[in-house]
């Protein structure tokens, strides 16, 4: 059974104090895994839980659902979650502000999200004066919209408004109700939006070179308990392999977590993400350029730092060179 907690921005401060530190429970080490959004981008966390892969590697992992990378990063820094997908710009900004957060992996080569718009919006300039729904400020969607807007000659601070709405279902509802004219939506929500008559203005996977679906933790935790982090990495990487290899279980988790009753959508979601998940998810140093450009808007000192300062490739490298990853695909 997958246990989910939802933490609002208001509740996060209290939760940081109340969540217990990792401990042993029934022979398994208890950890809390941050989930910035219940989406296909983070589905491996729920799949590994359902398939009992965490248990296999000695972990009692509890997914903790939050709203966006901003809240998840604060939870990670505070120690209330052990590991979490945090957007690369958020990690970089946190490190420049004094945090010891670090990226261990990029598990996707690009972001499978789209900016969905009302039919009358056909060109980037048509976004002027409109309102775009995103998860939260500082979230991945917020970053992608701002980045592409600048590339298209728009000023995201003046030409349109960004509105924090929450998860995909809420943004899709707001789009349908006409409260907003555009919204960042992940798969399969952008398919539902297309079926409802909305159009894709920007396909982020095609238009933005941005390594995605990160695994992040803190250097402090690595120093204190490297074995714990390694066990998590083994479980997550095995989760990727089995997600590719076990479509029926994968679709069951997709339908459960995304509350889908459409078999064709679940099938398409599995095919798309099984295809693009990276078996050996090394941190993508080259692809971090886009994040540098974004972070430098508020912290120009980022250009003085090398990408290697924000990542730790040693975990994936060890699992790759040891033959662990290769063995997962020999079945």
- CATH number at 309 reads 3.40.190.10
pLDDT tens digits along 204-241:
999 998 999 999 999 999 999 999 999 999 999 999 99
Q: Which residues have C-beta within 8 Å of that of residue 224, sequence separation ≥ 6? A: none
Provide the pLDDT for residue 166. 83
pLDDT category, 25, cuts 50, 70, 90?
Answer: very low
pLDDT category, 23, cuts 50, 70, 90?
Answer: very low
Provide the pLDDT for residue 19. 42
Q: Is the domain of 223 the same as that of 321?
A: yes
| Mean pLDDT value of segment 175-185 | 97
Q: Last residue of some domain: 207, 234, 257?
A: 207
- Asked whether the predicted pLDDT for residue 87 surpasses 80, the reply is yes
- Asked whether the predicted pLDDT for residue 3 surpasses 70, the reply is no
Q: Is the domain of 220 the same as that of 316?
A: yes
Q: Is the domain of 215 the same as that of 322?
A: yes
Q: Is the domain of 90 the same as that of 130?
A: no
Q: Is the domain of 95 the same as that of 164?
A: no
Is residue 250 left, alpha or beta, with left meaning phi > 0 and alpha meaning psi from -120 to 50? alpha
Q: Last residue of some domain: 162, 188, 207?
A: 207
Residue 73: name the closest of 184, 214, 171 by CA. 214
Q: Is the domain of 321 the same as that of 234?
A: yes
pLDDT category, 9, cuts 50, 70, 90?
Answer: very low
Q: Is the domain of 290 the same as that of 197?
A: no
- Parent domain of 72: 5-110+211-328
Count CB atoms within 10 A of the CB of residue 153: 9
Q: Is the domain of 31 the same as that of 163?
A: no
pLDDT tens digits along 75-85:
999 999 999 99
Q: Is the domain of 218 the same as that of 200?
A: no
Q: State the residue for tokens 């980022």.
A: 302
Provide the pLDDT for residue 205. 95
pLDDT category, 18, cuts 50, 70, 90?
Answer: very low
d(CA 74, CA 69): 8
pTM: 0.84
d(CA 77, CA 244): 32
- Asked whether the predicted pLDDT for residue 4 surpasses 80, the reply is no
| The token pair that represents 295 in the structure block | 């972070």
Q: Is the domain of 130 the same as that of 260?
A: no
Provide the pLDDT for residue 26. 57
Number of structural domains in the chain: 2
């Amino acid at each position: 059974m997958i246990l989910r907690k939802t933490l609002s921005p208001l509740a996060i401060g209290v939760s940081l104090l109340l969540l217990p530190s990792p401990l042993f429970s029934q022979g398994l080490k208890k950890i809390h895994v941050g989930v910035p959004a219940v989406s296909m981008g983070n589905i491996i966390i729920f799949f590994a839980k359902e398939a009992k892969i965490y248990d296999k590697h000695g972990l009692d992992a509890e997914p903790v659902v939050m709203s966006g990378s901003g809240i998840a990063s604060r939870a990670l820094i505070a120690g209330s979650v052990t590991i979490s997908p945090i957007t690369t710009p958020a990690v970089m900004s946190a490190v420049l502000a004094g945090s010891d957060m670090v990226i261990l992996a990029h598990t996707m080569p690009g972001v499978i999200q789209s900016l969905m718009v009302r039919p009358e919006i056909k060109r980037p300039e048509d976004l002027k004066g409109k309102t775009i729904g995103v998860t939260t400020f500082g979230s991945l969607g917020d970053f992608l919209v701002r980045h592409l807007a600048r590339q298209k000659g728009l000023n995201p601070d003046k030409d349109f408004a960004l509105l924090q709405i929450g998860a995909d279902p809420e943004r899709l509802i707001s789009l349908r109700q006409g409260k907003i004219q555009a919204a960042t939506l992940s798969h399969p929500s952008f398919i539902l939006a297309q079926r409802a008559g909305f159009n894709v203005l920007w396909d982020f996977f095609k238009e933005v070179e941005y390594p995605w679906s990160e695994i992040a933790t803190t250097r402090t935790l690595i120093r204190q308990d490297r074995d714990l982090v390694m066990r998590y990495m083994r479980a997550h990487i095995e989760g990727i392999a089995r997600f590719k290899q076990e479509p029926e279980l994968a679709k069951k988790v997709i339908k459960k977590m995304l509350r889908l009753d459409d078999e064709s959508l679940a099938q398409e979601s599995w095919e798309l993400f099984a295809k693009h998940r990276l078996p050996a998810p090394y941190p993508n140093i080259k692809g971090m350029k886009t994040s540098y450009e974004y972070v430098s808007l508020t912290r120009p000192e980022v250009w003085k730092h090398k990408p290697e300062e924000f990542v730790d490739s040693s975990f994936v490298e060890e699992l790759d060179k040891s033959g662990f990853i290769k063995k997962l695909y020999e079945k």
